[in-house]
Chain A
Amino acid sequence: MSQGVKEVGLYVRDQDEALAFYVGKLGFRVHTDVRNGDYRWLTVQHPDQPSLQLGLFKPGPPVLDEATAQTVHAIVAKGAMPPLVLGVDDCRAAYERLHAVGVEFTQEPTSRYGNVDASFRDPSGNGWKMIEARL
């Protein structure tokens, strides 16, 4: 069995909306989508990175009480969750493709010291930096 990080979770405001974004727009694949009552375990993975699952979780009961869930929703909507980084081969091409399908970019591709990066947010407010790293 391989060791290492297997799954990292994000909080999203709506799991169907997040699924449409991460799978329909970013091109991730569904790894697991299991429901148990109101609870839904939903993870996606990058097609080039099958070893890591990205969980898309809605804060709420039974895991979190309503008040805590409301606080988490507010933190996500304010863009206060930690930065996420997506590596791409060609930042400008990825920007054109994602911008065309309506991804909300907060920074257009910018060259810095040989790297090119851009920024976008998912519908919930989670912020991604998209980086084309120098080879």
Chain B
Amino acid sequence: MSADSASQAPELLRRLLRAKDRMDAASHEDWPVRRLARVSRVSEAHFARSFKRAFGVPPHRYLLTRRIERATALLRDTDRPITEIALDTGWESLGTFGRTFRDVTGESPGAVRARARAAAHELGRVPACFVSAAHRPDLTIAVSEKRRREATDINGSEQKEIP
């Protein structure tokens, strides 16, 4: 842990954790800063910065990793159509989901599904809720930055980070 976050008051961290917990419980919902700030009882102006100091990633990017984690679990564990999974995990369209999923994980949703089915269930002894966490993407940079770095045609176009 950085000295930076150790300097945040435990009472504040506990309230920020509550916002993180709420995103965990309902990652398919919209979580604008205003809503998260209210959960944590801090001002909107301070929320995003405090959250990033505490948990190392901005709140919207944390939400994105949880959505991808949940989608990955559904791809792996169910036979539900990918479109349905996309809408259920918080995306507005299959296109946005597929593109973001590929940008974050490096694979298409269909490829992840196929690979997960082929793999042995070596995590079978771990409770399902913790198995899911093991597949959470480690998104250390913004998706827009990831796209920029991976783009073969670097034309300097600005892309909005999703969500």
Which A residues touch B85, using CB under 8 A?
Answer: none
User: Size range of the interface on A?
Assistant: 20 to 34
Which B residues touch A70, using CB under 8 A?
Answer: 6, 10
Which B residues touch A117, using CB under 8 A?
Answer: 127-129
> With A71-B6, A107-B24, A107-B25 given, is the CB distance from A78 to B129 under 8 Å?
no
Is B17 a contact partner of A13 (Cβ separation < 8 A)?
no
The verdict on A83 contacting chain B, using a C-beta distance below 8 Å, is yes
Is B54 a contact partner of A78 (Cβ separation < 8 A)?
yes
Q: Name the CB-closest residue of B to A121.
A: B21
Assembled-state Cα–Cα distance A48/B1 (Å): 37
Is B24 a contact partner of A106 (Cβ separation < 8 A)?
yes
> With A79-B17, A125-B17 given, is the CB distance from A73 to B24 under 8 Å?
no
Which B residues touch A106, using CB under 8 A?
Answer: 21, 24-25
Q: Name the CB-closest residue of A to B26.
A: A107
Q: Name the CB-closest residue of B to A120.
A: B21
Assembled-state Cα–Cα distance A129/B131 (Å): 13
Q: For residue B18, give the distance in angstroms from its CB to the closest CB of chain A.
A: 8
Q: For residue A108, give the distance in angstroms from its CB to the closest CB of chain B.
A: 8
CB < 8 Å: which of B6, B20, B24, B129 contacts A74? B6
Which A residues touch B13, using CB under 8 A?
Answer: 74, 77-78, 125
Is B129 a contact partner of A77 (Cβ separation < 8 A)?
no
The verdict on A76 contacting chain B, using a C-beta distance below 8 Å, is yes
Assembled-state Cα–Cα distance A125/B127 (Å): 21
> With A79-B21, A107-B24 given, is the CB distance from A112 to B5 under 8 Å?
no
Is A78 a contact partner of B127 (Cβ separation < 8 A)?
no
Which A residues touch B55, using CB under 8 A?
Answer: 78
Interface of B toward A, CB cutoff 8 Å: 1, 5-6, 8, 10-11, 13-14, 16-18, 20-21, 24-25, 54-55, 127-130
Interface of A toward B, CB cutoff 8 Å: 13, 70-71, 73-80, 83, 85, 104, 106-108, 112-113, 115, 117, 119, 121, 124-125, 129, 131
5 closest pairs, A vs B, by CB?
Answer: A77-B13, A77-B10, A106-B21, A77-B14, A73-B10
